[in-house]
Chains A and B, each alone.
Chain A
């Protein structure tokens, strides 16, 4: 960046610095999909993690439309996160959890956002720390009755690394 500055107009430098200042604190890989006009964004805090370092997960639902968006879930589960490696399921957030069995409604007013923060401790479904390598994280929005979140389902997906 230092080599660029002498060649940039002052106004562009201001915008660049402002853009960097306003960059989200969670600066890892991100991806998004949509449902009913609502933006569903998955973001991790880092692109790469050391062994056993917690992976901070953020799922943000944003309604940029001018009408309210309502989602109905068959249980208290409003999302799921799946970690895969080369197509094989390594970890699933809902594993080891049960959910209240009443229909649940989530309504986002125009302009409203809702954020869910979760964490993966790098343990697989057997409780073992996973090895270094390339991984994928998929976020699933289970609004369909009977939907069992699984790898390959539609939803934002990001890649990240675990390094030694």
Chain B
């Protein structure tokens, strides 16, 4: 891993004597930035006391002098002892035998003739490397997705929560200290903690830099445990729907942002879960799911629902893991082979699967929300997709989706939202029609010869829940930018939009379909 050094605790500065060009002799103005706009950055102004200094070695000062200046005399004059001299730079490191004010001594030195600069012996840290002992020896996932660079921007926030919809997890694990929220047991069975849910939670949000174990992708995120699977890893659809709703309601009631991670999947499309996902999106909750482990181009669910981010698994060589399900519905990939993370009993182990990939992305999504809590779920999704490291094709590739999730880039400049919303109103001669099946198709001229189905929904019978569309309206919450046609049908009537609809990023597009026998 390439390491980048930065001054601990300060905003970025130009480093060291090598960059101080054209400094005046003995002026003692080193440390005071040049006046005027647009000047080169330099050392910061001295604070009034040592408390305002960035991390530095105590009782030490670094002095640089002009040519033909007796540097040792200068060091002695302030009561210091030279511990290191770099003749090529005409500088020494001076140590004071007793605690003394670094700032005061610097000011004295700066006033002396022949002194080019005097500064604390600052401490630099490796760029975002946590002190968790297994980070470098056992983990590769956070490093591969650029998490260390991301941590220099944000390490997350307790107000951007990762909800783990899974088996029961071990909330007493030391890596989750202080961050496990009160969740819900939708599955209804014993709350015996097992490896899977604990492992997934650790990948996303294990405490980082706490001197033990691993570093999660998101160090400060709260963990909301929602039990939707039994101890064997079987998860009933109705329990999953319960869990999705709970996470969405939690977000609303507690005024926090929630990212839901579902490291589970099955072949069956369930309308109840689709409706729950739509409810979550309307509540500002992003839903992320594993694409599946069948190694084929198969749509499993919940990954296959349009509003859900489907995450496949990558290898340490940035390839698609052979077991990772892929296809046009894939969003991104993330590390999913031999992932080291938490298990019950304050322990750790390796596990593999798209179960391990999804929480990497959930952790990143929560980092984005920690930085920009006002983003909508589709904006967060777009940000992750648009900033992913492209693999295979230059843009979207069904094997890799938009590419390998890139945590650092995802925290950079906001990319354009890739998604809009569509609402289709269905009516017949009697009025608005609830319960009609609506299909969005890839648009064609005059909406004739439709062959590529994109998304499906049903028109609402009207609220409740309060987030349900009005009577006769079908809502599509995450439609990729493009051109579409819509058809609507009941058992006795059908109709089509007369012309394609253009879906633009971040906007709501509406249309009406009139159905007839």
Contacts and interface: CB of A to CB of B under 8 A. Distances in A.
Contact of B167 (A77, A95, A100): A100
B196 A100 contact: yes
Main secondary structure of the interface of A (DSSP, over half): loop
A140 to B, nearest CB: 14
Interface string B462-474: 0000000000000
What size tier do the contact residues of chain B reach? Answer: 35 or more
A100 B199 CA distance: 12
A114 B353 CA distance: 24
Nearest to B291: A101
B339 to A, nearest CB: 9
A56 B232 CA distance: 19
Contact of B323 (A74, A97, A98): A74
Contacts of B293: 74-75, 101-103, 145
B355 A101 contact: yes
B57 to A, nearest CB: 46
A76 B232 contact: yes
B266 to A, nearest CB: 4
A98 B302 contact: yes
B237 interface: yes
B265 A98 contact: yes
B234 A77 contact: yes
A101 B268 contact: no
A100 to B, nearest CB: 4
Given A74-B323, A100-B233, A101-B264, A146 B296 contact: yes
A98 B265 CA distance: 5
Given A74-B294, A75-B293, A98 B352 contact: no
B354 A101 contact: yes
What size tier do the contact residues of chain A reach? Answer: 10 to 19
Interface in A66-104: 74-78, 94-104
A152 B296 CA distance: 22
Contact of A96 (B233, B236, B292): B236
A146 B295 contact: yes
Contact of B353 (A95, A97, A103): A103
Interface in B230-253: 232-237, 240
A94 B354 CA distance: 19
A100 B294 contact: no
A76 B234 contact: yes
A25 interface: no
Contact of A102 (B295, B296, B353): B353
A146 B229 contact: no
A100 B264 contact: yes
A101 B237 CA distance: 15
Given A74-B294, A145-B295, A146-B294, A99 B233 contact: yes
Contacts of B301: 98
Nearest to A76: B233
A148 B353 contact: no
A146 B351 CA distance: 18
A84 B323 CA distance: 30
A100 B201 CA distance: 13
Contacts of B351: 102-103
Interface in A108-150: 145-146, 148
A102 B196 contact: yes
B267 interface: yes
Contacts of A95: 268
Contacts of B389: none
A76 B351 CA distance: 12
Nearest to B167: A100
5 contacts: A97-B266, A99-B229, A99-B264, A102-B356, A146-B295
Given A76-B232, A98-B300, 17 more contacts: A74-B353, A75-B233, A76-B229, A78-B232, A97-B235, A99-B234, A99-B265, A100-B229, A101-B263, A101-B290, A101-B292, A101-B355, A102-B355, A103-B353, A145-B295, A146-B294, A146-B296
